[in-house]
Chains A and B, each alone.
Chain A
Amino acid sequence: MTEVLYENPDVLNQDPWQLPLEDLNPAQPELFAHDRYGDYFARLREQAPVHYCRDSAFGPYWSITKYLDIKYVNTHNELFSSEPNIVLQDQAEDFKLPMFIAMDPPKHDQQRKEVAAVAGPRNLAALEPTIRGRVCQILDSLPVGEQFDWVDRVSIELTTQMLATLFDFPFDERRKLTRWSDVATAAPMPGGIVESVEQRQSELRECLERFTQLWNERVNAAPGNDLVSMLAHGESTKNMHPMEYLGNLVLLIVGGNDTTRNSISGGVLALNQNPEQYRKLREQPELIPNMVSEMIRWQTPLAYMRRRVLEDTEVGGQTLRAGEKVAMWYVSGNRDPDMFDDPDAFRIDRPNARKHIAFGFGIHRCMGNRVAEMQLRVLWEEILKRFHTVEVVGEPVRVPSSFVKGYLKLPVVLHPV
């Protein structure tokens, strides 16, 4: 799930409307770090909705940028494989992490079924009071009237606590989960989250060691409701190779962490950029559930998912050849004007907000979608009771990745009701 960062400052000086169409390459971390990807996708949707980029840091790849085409590729897993990887970057030969998001049926279905119940209705209902308690505790601990980083104190804290609960991971060690999540998706670079490929692999091995201890504790105990126990007792997962265990851990840690974290931060930013929507929210808090979907659409915390063409096939009048890489740009589908009226606008009462494609469709559709929505809903219910405004007081720092679309920092000041 990692992407290597290639520093290329020239990218920011290029006008995507002037570049030769065949050179248009949206999969560049700089574009996302500086919030400059929008025009790339606007042009592709208009002029080349199924587009072949002949050269990139990840080699040649197809971009799918219209909502309906993305949904088509998403739901035809017999033509478009999720193997071997769901990001454009290929995995290092000597450090491959198999995970069920990057598997096809039947193995995908078997492994996913072992853990799906963790995000299922029964568990969800049981979790809500716990989540609300934690949300209240986090919000009540925040300073009022002085600047702090919303990403660290709220977005990370809340999602990491949630993740520790789902894994039944030692609560006081929970920030290790945040660290491993960051490391798993980080681009090795000097001064980055990890400095080198070796550092990344060594930290992920530590993750495996810690989780192997937990596995060993739970494999001989009665089956529990946590993800480690589910994997250790699951028929199709109990004999996994250690690297496959690590792969699935990375999937569940990143899936349960980065995505919701960045939707929590993005939601605050969206409301600040649209003060009339923030006003509407205060007047009509019953719009929260729909607003949550709109926040997820607006943010789209994972910008794309990759597929591999299994046999020559046609999409949008273009012929895709067996073996080629395809990026389904969720971030573009969620801005498709044929699907969403005035798509760049953030509207908490948007009638079809739930139709967003940020969770994907088909058999790989996000397993934790309802957990994510619940965290966002409960958070906003409790914020409105306490604070008139969560005011953004500086530029957010964005993640330099074309895959994880999110924020490293978001400076805010709280104003009480």
Chain B
Amino acid sequence: MAKVTFITHDGAEHVVEAEFTSVMNAAIDNLVPGIDADCGGECSCATCHVYVDPQWMEAVGPPGEREEEMLDLNPEREANSRLSCQIAITDALDGLTVRVPEFQM
């Protein structure tokens, strides 16, 4: 079980506990607003975009090749951008904090 904190655009914090799933699914299952996940978790719509807290960047790691392709087309992309469907929750990510953008593209 890992604790993940989502900070939405209005500054609200949503803390969820999850395991054996992706950060995207953890958000959807717990009704965290701001994550659309239109494609259902297949890295092909980029509507589960999050900004990973800089402290956690190393633990989370860089985007994969296909994810990079999708992220690269987003004008709101930053260095700490990831698609949350591509981040698997493990014990190593217990305490992870991500920011949710105002809009998903």
List A residues at the B interface (Cβ < 8 Å).
71, 74-75, 105, 109, 112-113, 116-117, 119-121, 124-125, 354-355, 359, 361-363, 365, 369-370
Chain A residues positioned under 8 Å from B43 (CB to CB) = 75
Closest CB in chain A relative to B96 CB, distance in Å: 24
The reply to whether A116 and B44 contact each other, CB–CB distance below 8 Å, is no
The reply to whether B103 and A121 contact each other, CB–CB distance below 8 Å, is yes
Q: B75's contact among A116, A125, A361, A362, by CB below 8 Å, is which? A: A116
The reply to whether B103 and A75 contact each other, CB–CB distance below 8 Å, is no
Q: Which of B12-20, B32-40, B52-60, B83-91 contacts A (4 or more CB under 8 A)?
A: B32-40
Closest CB in chain A relative to B67 CB, distance in Å: 11
The reply to whether A116 and B73 contact each other, CB–CB distance below 8 Å, is yes
Closest CB in chain B relative to A313 CB, distance in Å: 17
Chain A residues positioned under 8 Å from B70 (CB to CB) = 362-363
Interface range for B? 20 to 34
The reply to whether B38 and A113 contact each other, CB–CB distance below 8 Å, is no
Question: Residues 71-89 of chain B: 1 if any A CB is under 8 Å from the residue's CB, otherwise 0?
Answer: 0111110000000000000
**Do A124 and B73 form a contact, CB below 8 Å, given A71-B44, A361-B42, A361-B45?**
no
List B residues at the A interface (Cβ < 8 Å).
36, 38-40, 42-46, 66, 69-70, 72-76, 101-103, 105
Chain B residues positioned under 8 Å from A369 (CB to CB) = 105
Chain B residues positioned under 8 Å from A121 (CB to CB) = 76, 101-103, 105
Chain B residues positioned under 8 Å from A125 (CB to CB) = 102-103
The reply to whether A363 and B73 contact each other, CB–CB distance below 8 Å, is yes
Q: Dominant SS at the A interface?
A: helix
Chain B residues positioned under 8 Å from A75 (CB to CB) = 42-44, 66
Compute how far the CA of A312 lies from the CA of B103 in the bound complex, rounded to whole angstroms.
39
**Do A105 and B75 form a contact, CB below 8 Å, given A361-B44, A365-B44, A370-B105?**
no
Closest chain A residue to B40 by CB distance?
A: A355
The reply to whether B76 and A113 contact each other, CB–CB distance below 8 Å, is no
**Do A365 and B45 form a contact, CB below 8 Å, given A71-B39, A120-B75?**
yes
The 10 closest A-B pairs by CB, nearest first: A121-B103, A361-B44, A117-B75, A120-B75, A75-B44, A362-B44, A116-B75, A361-B39, A354-B38, A361-B45
User: Knowing that A109-B69, A359-B45 are A-B contacts, what are 18 other residue pairs whose CB atoms are under 8 Å apart, sorted by A's residue number?
Assistant: A71-B39, A74-B44, A75-B43, A109-B73, A113-B73, A116-B74, A116-B75, A120-B103, A121-B102, A124-B103, A354-B38, A359-B38, A361-B39, A361-B42, A361-B44, A363-B70, A365-B46, A369-B105
Chain A residues positioned under 8 Å from B38 (CB to CB) = 354-355, 359
Compute how far the CA of A124 lies from the CA of B46 in the bound complex, rounded to whole angstroms.
17
The reply to whether A120 and B44 contact each other, CB–CB distance below 8 Å, is no
Chain B residues positioned under 8 Å from A359 (CB to CB) = 38, 45
Compute how far the CA of A113 lies from the CA of B75 in the bound complex, rounded to whole angstroms.
7
In the complex, which of the residues B42, B43, B73, B76 has the most CB atoms of chain A within 10 Å of its own CB atom? Answer: B73
Closest CB in chain B relative to A131 CB, distance in Å: 15
Closest CB in chain A relative to B100 CB, distance in Å: 12
Q: A71's contact among B42, B46, B76, by CB below 8 Å, is which? A: B42
Chain A residues positioned under 8 Å from B44 (CB to CB) = 71, 74-75, 361-362, 365
The reply to whether A113 and B36 contact each other, CB–CB distance below 8 Å, is no
Closest chain B residue to A339 by CB distance?
A: B40
The reply to whether A112 and B73 contact each other, CB–CB distance below 8 Å, is yes
Task: Provide a sorted-by-A list of 16 A–B residue pairs whose CB atoms are within 8 angstroms.
Answer: A74-B44, A75-B43, A75-B44, A105-B69, A109-B69, A112-B73, A113-B72, A116-B73, A120-B75, A120-B103, A121-B105, A354-B38, A355-B39, A355-B40, A361-B45, A370-B105
